Amino acid sequence: MKINRMDHVSINVNDLSKAKSFFLDLGLEVQAEWEMDGGLLDRIVGLEDVKTSCVGMGMPDGQTWIELVKYHTPSDEKGIQQTFPNTLGIRHICFAVEDLETMVTHLKMKGTEIFSEIQQYEESYKLCYVRGPEGIVLELAEKIG
């Protein structure tokens, strides 16, 4: 028994078009869009009366896949819960980027929340945490040398 690869990361959102635009702006590409509902989906996710819209977004090389999911039903009564990098559970997705300074400047101009200025980790990476739409936390990492 072995794991071959990570298939995808799913992110639930309320505003699917805003989240899609954010990730397009980062450089991901739409790989697929679909809607799904019915008994099979209900059984897969363990909920009743599920109806979703989804956008599969990937890197141009096809190796990374993010699935943005809008649950039309049932809705999450709690709404968006603001989290921070130290909140327990899965908290961020890290993207390896080129020219971190330019990307952070671009994101600031778009109104993206930046957790801190760019920091250098030893002689290996420049790092920065940002918050995208609906509280999505991303780490941007540029390898040095």
Residues 19 and 57 in one domain: yes
Residues 63 and 34 in one domain: yes
Report residue 50 as tokens: 């599920």
Identify the pLDDT of residue 23.
95
DSSP letters of 46-115?
T-SS-EEEEEEEE-TTS--EEEEEEEEES--TT------TTSSS--EEEEE-S-HHHHHHHHHHTT-EES
The answer as to whether 131 is a domain residue is: yes
Cα gap 105→128, rounded to integer Å: 12
Identify the pLDDT of residue 128.
94
Residues 32 and 67 in one domain: yes
The answer as to whether 87 is a domain residue is: no
Average pLDDT by stretches of 10, the chain with 145 residues: 80 94 94 94 90 94 87 84 78 90 94 90 93 90 91
Identify the pLDDT of residue 143.
94
Q: How many domains, the chain? A: 2
Identify the pLDDT of residue 115.
84
Residues 69 and 13 in one domain: yes
pTM of the complete model:
0.86
Residue 109 belongs to domain spanning: 92-143
CATH of the domain at 36: 3.10.180.10
The answer as to whether 32 is a domain residue is: yes
